[in-house]
Amino acid sequence: MTVITDEEGKINELFVRLNRNKTLTGPEIRNAMRGPVPAMLRRIAEDEFFTNRASFATQRGQALDVAAKFLIVEFRGEIAETKRINLDRMVEDGFRADADVVAFERATDRVLAVLRAMDEIVLEKDWLLSRQGPLVPYYWIVRTLSSDLHSYVRPFLLAFDEAIKQNRQLAKDAPTIGMVDAELSRYDRLNRSINDGSSIEGRVEILLRRFDEFVTNGRVEVRPGAKADD
C-alpha cells in the first residue's frame, strides 16, 4: 500500500497507527507525533553534546528521550517529573490549538545554550555520560552554576563518583558499616528512581552541596555519620 501526501503530520500519524502494537520505544513514538515539539527534540538531539560527547547508546532514540527530559524541565523552569507519560503529554500539549509555540522555541534555545556550556565541560565520548540516569541532574547543576565555576564541574563529578564507589564498598563490609556516609547512600537510593521529580531534586541538592565543598577543599569526602535529609 502506498500513501502519497505532502502533510508531514498525516505521515507521522500513520506511522504511529501502523506501529501501535509493535515494540516501539517512547522516543520513537514521540518523534512521530504531530505538532512542533518533535522537531525541537530532534534539533536538541543533534547537538554536539549527543553526537560527540555522550557515550550511551542512541540506536533506539535515547538521545531524543534525554532531549525531551531537558526540554520539559527547561520549559517549566523547574525540576519536573521526566516519566514517559509526562514527556508524551508535553509533546501533545505542543499540538494543542492554544499551545504557546514561542515558549517552546525559547525553551529549546535555552536547552541548547546549556548544552553548549556542557560541551565545553565534558570530553569526547566521555565515560561520565555513559548512563542516562544522571544527565538531568548534571544538566541542572550546569544550568544553575555561574560560568566561572564550570571548570570545576568535571573534576568534581569524577571525585564525586569515586566517593560514591568508596561509600558503597564501606556499606558492604560489617567492620566498616559505621563509616558509611548516609548522604552518599541516599544519593545511591535516589538513583533507583531516575525520573521521579523528588529523586532529581534530591540528587541535585546533594550534588550542589558537595560541589560547594569541592570548590573550597578540592575533594569530595566520605564523611562517617553524615546525615541524609530523607
Give the per-residue pLDDT at 48.
Answer: 96
Cα–Cα distance measured from residue 197 to residue 219, given in angstroms and rounded to the nearest whole number: 28
C-alpha cell read off for 111:
536547552
pLDDT at residue 222, as a whole number: 94
> What pLDDT is attached to residue 229?
62
What does each of the 230 residues of the chain score in pLDDT, given as a tens digit?
666 777 766 666 666 666 555 567 778 888 878 899 999 999 999 999 999 999 999 887 899 999 999 999 999 999 999 999 999 999 999 988 788 999 999 999 999 999 999 999 999 999 999 999 999 999 999 999 999 999 999 999 999 999 999 999 999 887 778 889 999 999 999 999 999 999 999 999 999 999 999 999 999 999 986 666 65
Parse the chain into domains and list their residue ranges.
Answer: 1-129, 145-230
